[in-house]
Amino acid sequence: MLSYRHAYHAGNHADVLKHFVLTLCLQHMNLKDKPYTVIDTHAGAGLYALDTHQARQTSEYLDGIGRLWARTDLPIPLKHLMRLLHELNSGGNLRRYPGSPWLAAHLARSNERLRFAELHSTDFAFLRREFKNQVPRVMVEQADGFEMLKAALPPPSKRGLVLIDPSYEIKNDYTKVAHAIKDALQRFATGTYLVWHPLLPLLEAAQLPQKLKKSGATHWLHATLSVRAPSGKERGMHGSGMFVINPPWTLAAELEQTLPFLARVLAQDEQATWAVDSLEQKPG
């Protein structure tokens, strides 16, 4: 949806979960010498100032990354992400929050290729400016992310990580995500796919994880973090989930170690919960 601007929501509890999982997956990708490609289908602006009108209008980051900023009791898996944020915000004050493109560019090795798509003209301009000095390592496109993904798979590197996180403000996005994953697995079955999705009292939102489980993937992990009880309102996001296809073998344990902490620290009422579900089908 071209009216959606992530600047209003940067650093909220959903970003914390999404970027935590992304960080863990990219760290694992770096363990092998073979090169890989990172594809972000809905990249946003790349980097967000938390003192802008948009950020202060909602102040969602205060109940997200703001609650983690000064803590000294972080679980070990969460420390790398928080270290990157502190490096970005030198001086000790939380002023800027990175989007997934910024994190990917700083976590991926210098020889990896990154491909980002953003359709909104304003956010695309910010994104292009952020990475103008990193061509040809980084390719930034003003494009529909779902269409870009079709053209990008399989990547020349034969290894790859794909992040899909549309706004879902248009209900058709749920169907597009399910179709995109099914098509992507046919083109590039060994890729690691990260799908972010909101937890909403909405039929399409509830059905998406089930559709992803039936997409043809033989190895997946589904993590959810809910910070409060459902409101009953269609737009009342009470949490979010990350569905990871072909996840790192270490991911489940890292999430199980960290999600209880996040549920406690980011809780907005007494009904904050977390869950990790997974499936791995053995060959034959």
Q: Is residue 29 a contact partner of residue 78, using CB atoms and an 8 Å limit?
A: no
Shortest CA distance to 246 belongs to which of 36, 15, 33? 36
Shortest CA distance to 43 belongs to which of 108, 112, 111, 131? 131
C-alpha angle 274-80-100 in degrees, rounded to nearest 5: 75
Report the DSSP beta bridge partners of residue 97: 48
With a CB cutoff of 8 Å and minimum separation 6, the contacts of 225 are 13, 17, 239, 240, 241, 259, 262, 263, 266, 273, 274
CA–CA distance, 202 with 199 (Å, rounded to integer): 8
What are the CB-based long-range contacts (under 8 Å, 24+) for 125-133? Answer: 126/45, 126/46, 126/47, 127/43, 127/44, 127/45, 127/46, 127/101, 130/45, 130/46, 130/47, 130/101, 130/102, 131/46, 131/101, 131/105
Question: Would you call 165 a catalytic residue per the annotation?
Answer: yes
From 165, 183, 269, 277, active-site residue: 165
Q: What is the CA radius of gyration of the chain?
A: 18
CB atoms within 10 A of CB 268: 14
CA–CA distance, 136 with 140 (Å, rounded to integer): 10
H/E element, 24: helix 13-29
Both tokens of 32, joined, read 């092998």
Residues serving a catalytic function are 165
